């Protein structure tokens, strides 16, 4: 029997293995029951999906179950970015949304993500309740559905196009006039994902010269994971370098993550983009509030916050925790090293499209490349380098690592450990400000090793020490 577990961003599984129509219907019934318990049945629910194999069919099956539970469904008429789904929740005031996406995961995966009425990813107390209801439903394969055409004729299912409302909000958040006067030339790679017709459209509206890559629908994403990491966007890097372009802008399968390539084809880590945008937004918007970052994200963000006397909120990994701080108005920007961010006044959800546009605006207004802007930040706060390594988590490694971390070391790689942070994994902060974080993945059989230091030599030494500590 498949055990339904919601990870950092929903329930994911291999299509036709554990991610089946029957299981999707059972989980949707659990969500319908949760909505009924919450007294929000009359508010309706958004259902969206990404371009993966069978995503629209899974979405239709979910709509049938919701109709059977007496909950009206607003069903996207095409694949839709995750941030546009969040925007639609808040615009319509629904009880939440079900979104069929496996985000940046390989094409054989699909996923179901529930976002409640506040627009961000569901918090643990919500997903625990849905998991409990789903486990009970799995025993009996319990769900009740109304055939799609009948449900639509009776008004239980209504289709919508979320693009205009979402892009309207983006126009309010991004200074397109500054971009329009810049003469910038950019490459855009939606990686066959949901940002097609979103990011490129608004850039062309701002009269930016766009070189567009991978803008068709391909459920196989060109045979690679739709994640705009350096190793997956070589064609965009080449386009920027050989075309003499100012920027490369990538988004993942559901457009909630971003990847930035600077002039000359240099990939810029998300950690650095978050720090740069924090500084930029404070200077240009004058917003009050702090910054939220996950425990795995760079302390370069902290140093920029210190420059402006702003509070740093450190959260567990998972954007739901950052989204909660955005909703409460406590932060200017929230971000994760895994290429997710959002800003004050926007949806409490990762938005890769917005991130890309803010970088374009920043480069346009400042008249400098991202690399030049980063060098300016380093000159003010010092250089910080980061790295993430995935190490295979065997049962023996898992057991040995748990024993070691139960009594964290007082020294690491020849330096004194001055603080141990355990809000998600174990983070050892050393006496020179460098740190390592060891965190078992919630979705893959790996241990994620995060390292940060002030020089490449120190980064390499900490990486080696981290590998030895985990594997030996």
Task: Using the predicted structure, report yes or no on whether residue 18 has a pLDDT greater than 70.
Answer: yes
Q: 105 is written with which tokens?
A: 């995961």
Condensed to tens digits (0 to 9), the pLDDT of residues 330-354 reads 999 999 999 999 999 999 999 999 9
Instruction: Please tell me the predicted confidence (pLDDT) of residue 326.
Output: 95
Is the sign of the CA dihedral 276, 281, 282, 288 positive or negative? negative
The answer to whether the CB of 116 falls within 8 A of the CB of 98 is: no
Tell me which residue of 174, 166, 145, 170 sits closest to 69, measured CA to CA: 145
Instruction: Please write the tens of the pLDDT for every residue from 197-213.
Output: 999 999 999 999 999 99
CA distance 294 to 107: 27
pLDDT at 1 over 70: no
Q: Is the pLDDT of residue 444 over 80?
A: no
pLDDT at 385: 96
Tell me what pLDDT residue 6 has. Answer: 82
Structure tokens of 158?
A: 């209504």
Q: How do residues 281-302 score in pLDDT, each as one tens digit?
A: 999 999 999 999 999 999 999 9
End-to-end CA distance of the chain: 35
Domain boundaries for CATH 3.40.120.10 within the chain: 11-161, 166-381
* Residue ranges of the chain that CATH labels 3.30.310.50: 385-471
- Which band of pLDDT confidence, cut at 50, 70 and 90, is reported for residue 3? confident
Strand pairing partners for 48?
99
Q: How far is CA 209 from the centre of its chain?
A: 27
Query: What is the spatial distance between Cα 315 and Cα 336, in angstroms, rounded to a whole number?
Result: 10
- Whether 423 has a pLDDT exceeding 80, the answer reads yes
So what's the pLDDT on residue 443? 65
Residue 266 CA neighbour count, 13 Å, CB half:
12
Domain 385-471: assigned CATH number: 3.30.310.50
**Token pair for residue 184?**
């910038």
CATH architecture of 166-381: 3-Layer(aba) Sandwich (3.40)
Please give the average per-residue pLDDT across 390-418, as a whole number: 93
Q: Is the pLDDT of residue 271 over 70?
A: yes
Q: Percentage of residues in the chain with pLDDT exceeding 90?
A: 92
The per-residue pLDDT for 259 is 98
Take residue 303 and report the two structure tokens written for it. 């140093």
- Write down the pLDDT at residue 2: 67
What share of the chain has pLDDT > 70, as a percent? Answer: 99
Q: What is the mean pLDDT of the chain?
A: 95
Neighbours of 132 (CB within 10 A): 13
The DSSP code sequence of 352-407 is: HHHHHHHHHHHHHHHTS-HHHHHHHHHHHH---EEEEEEEE--HHHHHHHHHHHHS
The class level of CATH for 11-161 reads alpha beta
**What are the pLDDT digits (tens) for 110-166?**
999 999 999 999 999 999 999 999 988 888 888 999 999 999 999 999 999 999 999
Q: What is the mean pLDDT of residues 87-111?
A: 96
* 210-228 pLDDT tens trace: 999 999 999 999 999 999 9
**Dihedrals φ, ψ of 178, to 5°?**
-65, -45
């Amino acid at each position: 029997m498949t055990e339904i577990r919601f990870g950092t961003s929903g329930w994911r599984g291999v299509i036709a293995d554990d991610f089946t129509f029957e299981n999707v219907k059972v989980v949707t019934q659990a969500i319908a029951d949760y909505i009924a318990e919450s007294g929000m049945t009359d508010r309706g629910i958004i259902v969206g999906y990404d371009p993966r194999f069978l995503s629209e069919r899974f979405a239709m099956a979910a709509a049938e179950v919701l109709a059977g539970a007496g909950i009206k469904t607003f069903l996207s008429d095409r694949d839709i970015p995750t941030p546009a789904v969040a925007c639609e929740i808040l615009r319509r005031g629904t009880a939440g949304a079900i979104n069929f996406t496996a985000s940046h995961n390989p094409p054989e995966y699909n996923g179901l993500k529930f976002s409640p009425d506040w627009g961000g990813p569901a918090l643990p107390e919500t997903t625990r309740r849905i998991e409990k209801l789903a486990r009970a439903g799995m025993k009996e394969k319990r769900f009740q559905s109304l055939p799609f055409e009948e449900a639509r004729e009776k008004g239980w299912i209504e289709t919508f196009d979320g693009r205009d409302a979402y892009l309207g909000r983006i126009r309010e958040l991004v200074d397109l006039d500054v971009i329009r006067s810049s003469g910038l030339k950019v490459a855009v790679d939606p990686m066959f994902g949901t940002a097609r017709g979103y990011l490129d459209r608004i850039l062309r509206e701002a009269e930016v010269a766009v070189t567009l890559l991978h803008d068709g629908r391909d459920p196989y994403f060109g045979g690679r994971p739709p994640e705009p990491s350096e190793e997956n966007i070589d064609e965009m890097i080449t386009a920027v370098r050989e075309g003499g372009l100012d920027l490369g802008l990538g988004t993942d399968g559901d457009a909630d993550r971003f990847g930035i390539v600077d002039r000359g084809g240099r990939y810029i880590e998300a950690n650095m983009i978050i720090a740069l945008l924090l500084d930029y937004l404070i200077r240009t918007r004058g917003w009050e509030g702090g910054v939220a970052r996950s425990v795995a994200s760079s302390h370069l963000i902290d140093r920029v916050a210190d420059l402006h006397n702003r509070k740093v909120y450190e959260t567990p990994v998972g954007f739901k925790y950052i989204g909660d701080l955005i909703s409460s108005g406590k932060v200017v920007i929230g971000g994760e090293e895994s290429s997710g961010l959002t800003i004050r006044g926007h949806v409490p959800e990762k938005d890769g499209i917005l991130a890309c546009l803010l970088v374009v605006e920043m480069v346009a207004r400042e008249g400098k490349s991202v690399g030049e802007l980063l060098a300016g930040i380093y000159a003010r706060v010092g250089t910080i380098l980061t790295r993430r390594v995935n190490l295979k988590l065997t049962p023996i490694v898992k057991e040995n690592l748990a024993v070691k971390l139960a009594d964290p070391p007082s020294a690491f790689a020849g330096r004194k450990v001055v603080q141990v942070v355990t809000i998600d994994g174990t983070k050892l902060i050393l006496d020179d400000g460098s740190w390592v974080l060891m965190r078992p993945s919630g979705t893959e059989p790996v241990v994620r090793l995060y390292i940060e230091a002030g020089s490449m030599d120190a980064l390499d030494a900490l990486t080696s020490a981290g590998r030895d500590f985990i594997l030996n």
